[in-house]
A and B are shown apart, each in its own frame.
Chain A
């Protein structure tokens, strides 16, 4: 009786959801972040629902099983446009294909879980260390003396090596994160070696999943499109990226505001959008967002910036933008914006400036119904799309992140777009839906 009373009370709490994003799963994340009945969490230990959004390649299913088994009981799973793992019993699986139905389905699953009307998800992997205990050495840790060795298949915290920051050497800690770590791009898996909270080595094991863009960028490669639509989609993309950075900074209210603005981008009144964005930008500055990003942290070298292209290159002072080659944009007197520093802070300044510029261009293009004049090169938020789509550039992290403090490293990662451009656009349906919501 007491338990059922407790369960009824708990069922009314916001649903704690851990999102494991597969390919093209981001839209689900952005929708749920704005659903007050859902609480997105960054650790599986803090959730009772595993949401797998988007396709998971077979090579990453074992990693998904490991995430699944980290959930404390009771928990269940929900699969949004994804194929459930075959070994999961049907009672512990809910599948949803509609973005609109997703928040409701999560609430329903949570309620049913607490009322015991759906099955709890079972453990999929044996509850045993991934590698056998080695039991060697004087202290039974697999190495010699007090240090070294690989008990349970992982290196021990090793004796100090040279410190990258201030000479104070701490134990070296090696671990692997991803591909479902929610604080960096979905699909990215890396082996990280930390000394204290400083990254000493960052080895990319798998690249982020290709990122799908709004259909208008793909259309622009085939035919003339309205510049206003293109610029609205650009602003939306950058605002959604900003959500991750603001969440990392602990500014949850502003993170949601960024998504609300992004939702209104496809069809909202452009003058109002520009005005709201100005207020939003002011609040971001006032609340110390830029103070979080110290100068020179995450700075790209010239050749790295050139390889990345797009806003990241412009933030490093490279005056290159495919829009300057388009007559439509020329008629709007488009001028490239650049920063000089090329660091994390400069990239965010660049992105914010490009959002403001996108609203300005959209407003003027809309008034005169201006359209793009060329299809050979399109400036996407990921960089110029000419003969080939911009590819993945995650290996540059191995050079960029060592020496950074953990929080700075994640902030740098959030400021970059490293995933390759997906050959398929994001679904049009989601776009019109967002427009309707606005």
Chain B
């Protein structure tokens, strides 16, 4: 009883929280190698080396920062990612946070991420970090809306807001096929909320690192780790909402979840650096004019499909 409801789910969440960002860093290294940015051996050790360097580097201070908020922001972002991972069902029985409204809780995590990212950029009290924070706040709402509409789409056939019920509703056909617009839209939101690749507007190169431009040492390690952990949480929710979660032949459910999450992470790691960064104007237009109407179409599609 305790093993199924507490120990195993918690162990899996912690394992995903530690191993997920590490594997994502390895995947990023693999993509960077493909682009000719790195070479030589040490693909598996590279993330650990970078982490060790961050641990050795001192955490700096800026002039008159909001110290407590600044130190807390990366930890809060990591806590949100961990909260998201806790919602991922690993099997029918192994769910760390098995509540009837897990999709709503995930929505609140996305909304709170906006606050935390703004806090990170604003509390450093420096100009480029603040511009990064402004940018994220200007765009965050559109990300959340797209995400919520596609998630309501998967809740309709399940007739429930619980992720376990969403997975059970996919026994005959996974949502990735039943609602073909859902997963691509959700993955774009994943890239946007963790500001990677073309959606890296908050921590972008033109801002010398944006919200983390003036962050160093262990604080930066936690921030980068949290960004990766949030993408891992995204891949977990995407797996449950669109890829049938634990469903699959031969292998145990948790292994299926892990494989599917890894596949989503690999896809996102490959997609990230493939395109130039969008301008804020392009990004706003893309979100409100293209992706949000597509999310409506997805929702209508899901509704019609649920009725028939």
* B63→A250 contact, CB < 8 A: no
A406 CA to B127 CA in the complex, in Å? 12
A12-B49, A46-B209 given; A250·B197 CB < 8 A: yes
The answer, among A6, A46, A182, for a CB contact under 8 Å with B216, is: A46
- Residue pair A253, B35 in contact (C-beta under 8 Å): yes
Query: What sequence of 0s and 1s flags, for each residue 235-254 of chain B, a beta carbon within 8 Å of any chain A beta carbon?
Result: 00000000000000000000
B298 to chain A: which residues have CB within 8 Å? none
Q: From A227-235, A284-292, A367-375, give the one contacting chain B.
A: A284-292
- Indicate if A393 sits at the interface (CB-CB under 8 A): no
Chain B hits for A410, CB < 8 A: 206
In the bound complex, CA of A289 to CA of B277 (Å)? 8
Q: Which of B131, B197, B208 contacts A194 (CB 8 A)?
A: B131
A16 and B53 contacting across the interface, CB-CB below 8 Å: yes
Taking the closest CB of chain B, its distance from the CB of A145, in whole angstroms, is: 20
Expressed in whole angstroms, the Cα–Cα distance for A48 and B220 within the complex equals: 14
* Contacting residues, chain A, for B200 (C-beta < 8 A): 250
Q: How many angstroms between the C-alpha atoms of A72 and B53 in the bound complex?
A: 12
Which residues from chain A contact B50 at a C-beta distance below 8 Å?
Answer: 13
Verify B49–A248 contact, CB threshold 8 A: no
**A27 touches B (CB below 8 Å):** no
C-alpha gap A183/B209 in the complex (Å): 11
Interface pair B56/A74, CB less than 8 Å apart: yes
| A152 to B125 alpha-carbon distance, docked (Å) | 13
CA distance A41 to B208 in the complex (A): 8
B19-71 with Cβ < 8 A to chain A: 32, 34-40, 42, 45-46, 48-50, 52-53, 55-60, 63-64
Residues A42 and B209 in contact in the complex (CB < 8 Å), given A12-B45, A291-B282: yes
B209→A253 contact, CB < 8 A: no
Closest-CB distance, A280 to chain B (whole angstroms): 12
The answer to whether A224 has its CB under 8 Å from any CB of chain B is no
Q: Is A431 an interface residue (CB 8 A)?
A: no
Decide if A45 touches B215 in the complex (CB within 8 Å): yes
Residues of the A chain whose Cβ atoms lie less than 8 Å from the Cβ of B198: 250, 288
Cα(A182)–Cα(B216), bound, Å: 18
User: Which residues in window 212-256 of A have CB below 8 A to B?
Assistant: 247-253, 256
Report chain A residues within 8 Å CB of B60: 45, 70, 72
Smallest CB–CB gap between A26 and chain B, Å?
Answer: 18
The CA of A9 and the CA of B54, in the complex, are separated in Å by: 11
Contact of A13 among B49, B197, B277 (CB under 8 A): B49
Q: Which residue of A lies closest to B135 (CB)?
A: A197
How far apart sit A13 and B217, CA to CA, in the bound complex (Å)?
A: 14
Whether A43 touches B209, Cβ cut-off 8 Å, given contacts A152-B63, A257-B36, is: yes
Asked whether any CB of chain A lies closer than 8 Å to the CB of B276, the reply is: yes
Q: Tell me, rounded to whole Å, the shortest Cβ–Cβ distance linking A69 to chain B.
A: 10
Contact B276 A291 (CB under 8 A): yes
A294 at the interface (CB under 8 A from B): yes
B207 is an interface residue with CB less than 8 A from chain A: yes
CB neighbours of B138 from chain A (8 A): 196
B38→A36 contact, CB < 8 A: yes
B278: Cβ under 8 A from any A Cβ: yes
Q: Mark A26-65, 1 if CB is under 8 A from B, else 0.
A: 0000000000100001110110100000000000000000
Check A48–B214 contact: CB distance below 8 A: no
* Residue interface bits A107-127, CB-to-B below 8 A is 1, else 0: 000000010000000000000
Q: Report if A250-B216 is in contact (Cβ < 8 Å); known contacts: A14-B38, A407-B206.
A: no
Measured between C-beta atoms, what is the minimum distance from A43 to chain B in Å?
4
Q: Which residues of chain A have C-beta atoms less than 8 A from B216's C-beta?
A: 45-46, 72
Q: A70–B214 Cα gap in the complex (Å)?
A: 9
Which residues of chain A (342-364) have a CB below 8 Å from chain B?
none
Is there an interface contact between A407 and B214, defined as CB atoms closer than 8 Å?
Answer: no
For residue A129, CB closer than 8 A to chain B, the reply is yes
Interface contact B208-A43, CB-CB below 8 Å: yes
> In the assembled complex, which residues on chain A have CB atoms less than 8 Å from the CB atom of B172?
none
Residues of chain B with a CB closer than 8 A to A170's CB: 134
**B57 in complex: contacting residue of A48, A197, A247, A248, CB < 8 Å:** A48
**B-contact 0/1 string along A404-419, CB 8 Å cutoff:** 0111101100000000
Q: Considering the complex, which residues of chain B in the window 114-154 have a beta carbon less than 8 Å from any beta carbon of chain A?
A: 127, 130-131, 134-135, 138
A72, B279: Cβ atoms closer than 8 Å: no
Contact B53 A13 (CB under 8 A): yes
Q: Once the chains bind, are A173 and B127 in contact (CB under 8 Å)?
A: yes
A353 to B275, CA, bound (A): 22
Contacts of B205 in A (CB 8 A): 42, 183, 247-250
Given A42-B205, A45-B216, A256-B37, does the pair A72, B58 have CB atoms closer than 8 Å? yes
Residues of A in contact with B (beta carbons under 8 Å apart):
3, 6-7, 9-10, 12-14, 16, 36, 41-43, 45-46, 48, 70, 72-74, 114, 129, 152, 170, 173, 175, 181-183, 194, 196-197, 247-253, 256-257, 260, 287-289, 291-292, 294, 405-408, 410-411
The 8 closest A-B pairs by CB, nearest first: A253-B35, A13-B49, A42-B208, A10-B53, A10-B52, A9-B52, A250-B277, A72-B60
